Structures are given as C-alpha cells and as structure tokens.
A and B are shown apart, each in its own frame.
Chain A
Amino acid sequence: MSSENGKRLLETDAGGLNFEATELTLGLPGEPRVTSDGGAKWGSKRGFSETVDLKLGDNNQEVKLGHSLQEAAKSPVSKTQVVGWPPVRGFAKRGKKSCKYVKVAVDGAPYLRKVDLEIYNSYQQLLTSLEDMFSCFTIRNYLNEKKIDQVNGIEYMPTYEDKDGDWMLVGDVPWQ
C-alpha cells in the first residue's frame, strides 16, 4: 500500500482544501516521514512536540498538539462536548454542502477510509473517530460484523478503487 509509516491526511479532490497547515503526521518515533509533496519533514525521535501523541487502545487518550499545530488549530484540548450544546443553529451546517471529506491512510491497512471533517468539532473527536475506524487493524475485534466466507473463514469487506488508485472502503461517503 503506502510506503510511509503512520497515518497521514491527504488532500481531497472535492473542495480544494489545503491541509498542509493542519497536517497531522503520526507514527512511530524515529522514522523519517515523507509528506505529500515528497520532502522528508520530521526526522528525529525527539520530534515529540511536532507530533500528536495518541495512545491507541488506551482508555485515557491524551492529545497534545505541538506548537506548529497549535498555530493552525484553534483550541488545544477541548472539553467533552455535549450534543446540541451550546445551542447554536447550523454552525456545522453553514457551507455543509461543500463537504470536507478527506482520505485517511493507515499503513498496513488493506484499504483507506474517508472522513467528513465537517461533523467533528475538535481534534479530539476526529482522533477518537479515527481510532475507532482503524482499531480493527491494531486489535482484532471479532465483535465487528464482517462478511465471513463460510468455507474457509476469511473475512471480506466491500471496497472499490478510486481515481487515485487507492482502495477505499465502501460506505464512508453518503450515497447522495
């Protein structure tokens, strides 16, 4: 699949949004990471302040946004958000039709996922959601429903190849 380690958020075709300012690069410390424009960005183990430290599979998730990200992002850690509070109408809906769908690739996963950034209100929520989406690859979760081939017990998921040549899981982008 991809030759890089870690997750990266790629630019999406629909929307023309520039994500370089908010690009998250997660991954094992110590590995050089290559960005979408090809240049190696961060190298050392001590790039801690420039990465997002995410403990997967942990109940207590810490999200520490580094300095460079903090300039791009607005709030560091936001509190647990209550549904429908504060009662602001249509805040996420303004410009909703220009959906901010981005592709997320996790190394080692057989397919990519698409997430709509519009539905998240904070980095915390996004990362929680990404963890849920990719947890089945780090931790075998047999409670996830998958189609099982009855003969040899191999799991199948419906996927498709998009115009970039990436394999995408069917169902992430709403039908319409």
Chain B
Amino acid sequence: MPKRLAYSLPDEVLEHVFSFIQSDKDRNVVSAVCKSWYEIERWCRRKIFVGNCYAVSPKMVIRRFPQVRSIELKGKPHFADFNLVPDGWGGYVLPWITEMAGAYPWLDEIRLKRMVVTDESLELIAKSFKDFKVLVLASCEGFSTDGLAALAASCKNLRELDLRESEVDDSSVHWLSHFPETYTSMVSLNISCLGSGEVSFSALERLVSRCPNLRSLKLNRAVPLDKTANILRLAPQLVEFGTCTYSAELRSDVFSNLAGAFSNCKELRSLSGFWDVVPDYLPAIYSVCSRLTSLNLSYATIQSPDLIMLVSHCPSLQRLLVLDYIEDSGLEALASNCKDLQELRVFPSDPFDAEPNASLTEQGLVAVSLGCPKLQSVLYFCRRMSNAALVTIAQNRPNLTRFRLCIIEPNTADYLTGEPFDVGFGAIVEHCKDLIRLSLSGLLTDCVFEYIGKYAKKLEMLSVAFAGDSDLGLHHVLSGCESLRKLEIRDCPFGDKALLTNAAKLETMRSLWMSSCSVSFEACKLLSQKMPRLNVEVIDERGPPDSRPENCTVDKLYIYRSVAGPRFDMPPFVWTKDEDLALRLSP
C-alpha cells in the first residue's frame, strides 16, 4: 500500500472538515492541495461566486461543482450604473438559469447584480427549484411584476426577496396577492425600487401579518405615511425598516400613532427610505434612534438643522448615508456624537449645478476623520478640496479601507494652492495600508499614479476619471498594484503602450474598463491576439472601428479574463478581433 494512503483520512471526514471552510479563497486553496482533495472539495462545494458572468460558462461551473446550492453572479461593469454601457450590451441571466434548472434541482439561493433578468427567467426559477429560498436582484432590469407574481405563487419557502435598486416594469398585476394565504416564510423583503402602481397595500398588510419571522422590510414610496404605523404594529420584531413616503400634512393623531408604533420596535437597528421627508415627522423615530446602527437618509431632502437634531439622537450609529444638506456643521455634530461610525456616504443634492447649494466642503470630512476613530469607508461628493485636508484625513485615519472622493467639477485643483491632488491622494495610499478601494477625482498628474503604484499594495479596485498626463500613469498602476482586480478609467490620456506592456497583468485581474481614453483599435486587436484568455471588447456605437481613420481611438473598451472564450450574445456595437460575424446571435 503506497505510503500516502496510510496517512489519508476517509473522504467523509475530509468533507466534514471542509464544511467548516466557507470562504471561496480558502476553498480554492484546499482544492489545489492534491487531486483527491480537489475531487472531494468539488463535490461538497455549496456556494459559488462568479464576479463576471462571462468569465466562465454555466456548463463549466456545473461540470466542476455538481452540487451547488447557492450562486452569486455579476453582469455589467460598474460604470453601467452611470449610463456608460449601452443598452443591450449583455449580462443575461437566462442561459445560467436554464442550465442550473436541470443541474441543480436543490439550488435555493440566487444573487444577481447588474444583470438582465426576464420574466421568463423568474418563471423558470419559480418552477425549477422546489426549495427556493433567497433571491437578490441588485441593480437588475428586464423583468416585470408578472415575474414576481410567478415567484410569489410557487415558492413556498421563499425567505428573502430583495430587489434593491432594480428597474421593474409595472405589468399591473397585483403580484403580492399571489403569495398564498398559507405562505408565512418571509424574512426579508425589499421592494423599495417599485413604482406606485405595483404594491397593493392591503395585500402587503396581510403578508406582513402572517410572516412572524419578518426581520427586514423595505417599502416603496407609494405607501402613504399614515399606513406606516399599521405595518410597524404588525411587525414590531423588525430589525431593518425602509419607510415609504415620509410626507404628509402634519396631524397630531398620525404623528402620535407613528411614534407609538416605532417605540414598539425594540429590535430596530436600521432605517432607510424617508422619501419626501417632512421634518416635523422625524421626531416620531426618536424612540429608536439610540439603538440605530444604520441610517440611510440619502433621499431625505431635509436641511442641516433637522439633520443635526436627528444625528445627535443616534450615538450608536455605524453607517450613515446622507445628502450634502448635512453641511460641514452637521458632519461636525456627527463627529462629536457618533464615535462608532464606520461608514459615511455623502451624496450631492444637486449634482448638475455648477454652484454649491449647500455649505459642504472638505472641512466636514476632515472633522469626521478626526472624530470617528473607527471610520473605514468613505464616499464623499463635494465641490472643493485641498491637499492639506487629504493629508490630514490620511494621518487621522490610517485604518481607512475604502476611500471614494468625487470632486464634482472635473480637473478642479486644490483651492488653497492651485495644485493638483497628487500629494493628497499620495498621502492616502501611503498611510492607509489596508486600502482596498479608491476613487480619484480633481486635477491629477501622472505623479499620483506613481504613488499609487508604489504604496497601494492591497488595493483591489481603482476608479479614475479626467486624470493623468500620459501612458506612464496607467503603467504605474498596472505594474505596481499587486492586488488590483478591477480598474475602471474614463476620460484619461492613457493609450496603447501601457496596455500592451502590461498585457500579462490583465489576466490577473477581473476586468479593465477604459472609455474616452486614447487606445487604438489596432492595439485592441494586438492585445486580443497576444492574450487568448482575455476577452477584449470594443464598445462603439459609431460603427466598425476599423472603418475609421488610423489615428481614431476606440470609444469604450472592456477587457476581462475568461476561460469561456468569446461570448455568443454580443450586440452589433461590440467589436472584437473575431472576423467571423456569424458567431453573433442577437439576444
């Protein structure tokens, strides 16, 4: 008997040990130890994450992992959120559902992000997976309330239905009524993205009243405020609640009913919604504020004094999303009241106005960086910034892991010195050694990229716009950032040289997006030939890229690694090196 067999444990034991290993990375490492561990591991892997749905084919996934219960897929690149990816580009989930319907009858969780989901897909899910439990559709589109009705009618064990930020067409079907009276399993329901016609309040009330395990409920803006109290009284066990329209004529009976309902909710930790907020109704939530850890006021158009009042009631806050109406004064109040704050996102109330309409500057962010020792994640829109502020922030908060700054006007310089922000962002990457995500803005030269390449060794995602002077900028990033997975660039003078020199790097990353840069179609074809495991997609609605003059640069470029080869669902405006247009099938 070979020596190694004497040391090996029975498969069942190994499988049991592996079941404690949940993270994908660790699982991948386990499967690389030896052939027998690879085999055992692949049969017992239950959860799959595919960061780019075109990086692998469903058949390949199924072949390797035959017994998956939970899958997460992402489709379109991140810049699709800002309308940079034309409609019809891709990201269709139906081929995946079709394959999985046959191969994974016990699949119970599907999580999708930025994918096109049709009613047909939803209907297929409803009839193929008997024990279906979790559906999360984040920033998806292509389906209507018909598809939701099919799910409601068939999925007896559905626990989670989360449609966060998806676009849903109203087919006028009262889909909520399709949950049978015997259905009681809902734990988490997020319908905040639905329009007015799509939610029947009485059906909602009945659903909530018969689901005792409901922990998270996020309503849409069509439900009027006076009904909110009814819902809360039916579900005092809620941990997360997204209000509906928080606006009504101030009436003391409605107010006290609402305040009473909130005070019953002892488990409530997270609030969101607050569309059209009438400040007079805000005190209704004061009874829960001291326990709140998460507050999303990014739709609340209320002014600084009301925001300050609210925030001062929430000492346990860990996460705050808010509009720039909070102003520097509000952020200073936040810094003194909320010592547990970990994540702050400040959105612009009027992003397209050249003039600021709220007194929010770099000072607010500096105050929070000083006052909140646990601050890790920042997304901040503002209209002015200084290198000094950035350096201060970096020194105050070396524990930052996500730093996304958007100075609204492109190419804005340091308002104190007129200089670019190279030094400021340089300080961020130098001090914040665990930084995994960074978004740059303002006036920037190639220098900032040199700093990033030198210091940002843990950086996984970088977003760049209107920055840099030459290919050297891109080269610094691609050659220096060892952990880089996603790079998205727009309107920068980066071209062929940096791309071709660092071709091999691209295979170590999930994807690269470049739009309105200086890359030629020739370079794209060359890159594509050199790197067969990269899909190089030129997205150009102006017509065939090689029909244009030699010096013309491509409009948009999306490069991603793939073991599945070129995809078959490319629309006419996506150009690759493949001459054979017969491969193209219309979706």
Contacts and interface: CB of A to CB of B under 8 A. Distances in A.
Interface of A: 74-75, 78-79, 81-91, 93-98, 121-122, 176
B408 interface: yes
Interface string B187-229: 0000000111110000000000000000000000100000000
B444 to A, nearest CB: 15
A11 B463 CA distance: 42
22 contacts: A74-B357, A75-B350, A75-B354, A81-B352, A84-B82, A84-B83, A84-B84, A85-B465, A86-B348, A86-B351, A87-B465, A88-B82, A88-B348, A88-B381, A89-B82, A90-B81, A91-B351, A93-B167, A94-B299, A97-B168, A97-B196, A176-B169
The A contact surface, by secondary structure, is loop
Contact of A82 (B81, B197, B410): B410
B544 to A, nearest CB: 22
Contact of A96 (B81, B83, B167, B353): B167
Given A83-B84, A94-B299, A95-B221, A88 B351 contact: yes
B165 A89 contact: yes
Nearest to B350: A74
Nearest to A88: B351
Chain B interface category by residue count: 20 to 34
- Taking each of A86, A88, A176, which has the highest tally of chain B beta carbons within 10 Å of its own beta carbon? A86
Contacts of A93: 167
Nearest to B168: A97
A78 B84 contact: no
Given A84-B490, A97-B170, A98-B195, A89 B81 contact: yes
Contacts of A84: 79, 82-84, 490
B347 interface: yes
Nearest to B299: A94
The B contact surface, by secondary structure, is loop
Contacts of B221: 95
A97 B465 CA distance: 30
A81 B350 CA distance: 13
Contact of B355 (A75, A83, A91, A121): A75
Interface string B340-356: 00000001101111110
B83 A78 contact: no
A88 B82 CA distance: 7
The 6 closest A-B pairs by CB, nearest first: A97-B195, A84-B82, A75-B353, A84-B84, A86-B351, A89-B81
B519 interface: no
Contacts of A85: 82, 410, 465, 490
Nearest to B84: A84
Contacts of B84: 83-84
Contacts, number: 66
A79 to B, nearest CB: 6
Given A84-B84, A85-B410, A88-B347, A75 B195 contact: no
A65 to B, nearest CB: 14
Interface string B462-494: 010100000000000000000000000011000
B222 to A, nearest CB: 9
B579 to A, nearest CB: 31
Contacts of A88: 82, 347-348, 351, 381
B353 A78 contact: yes
B112 interface: no
Contacts of A122: 352
A86 B405 CA distance: 11
Contacts of B196: 97-98
Nearest to B465: A85
B406 interface: yes
Given A97-B196, A98-B195, A86 B406 contact: yes
- Taking each of A81, A89, A91, A97, which has the highest tally of chain B beta carbons within 10 Å of its own beta carbon? A97
A76 to B, nearest CB: 9
A98 B410 CA distance: 32
Interface string B72-94: 00000001011110000000000
Contacts of A86: 348, 351, 381, 406, 408
A82 B83 CA distance: 11
A81 B168 CA distance: 28
B410 A87 contact: no
A53 to B, nearest CB: 21
B200 to A, nearest CB: 16
Contacts of B381: 86, 88
Interface in B313-356: 347-348, 350-355
Contacts of B79: 84
Given A75-B353, A78-B354, A81-B352, A87 B299 contact: no
B228 to A, nearest CB: 19
A97 to B, nearest CB: 3
Contacts of A75: 350, 352-355
A86 B299 CA distance: 17
B323 to A, nearest CB: 11
Interface string B377-401: 0000100000000000000000000
A130 B350 CA distance: 24
B352 A90 contact: no
A12 to B, nearest CB: 15
Interface string B403-418: 0001010100000000
B81 A87 contact: yes
A79 B351 CA distance: 12
- Taking each of B82, B221, B381, which has the highest tally of chain A beta carbons within 10 Å of its own beta carbon? B82
A84 B221 CA distance: 25
Contacts of A121: 352
Contacts of B355: 75
A85 B408 CA distance: 8
A94 B301 CA distance: 13
Nearest to A92: B83
A140 to B, nearest CB: 27
A96 B465 CA distance: 27
Contacts of A90: 81, 165
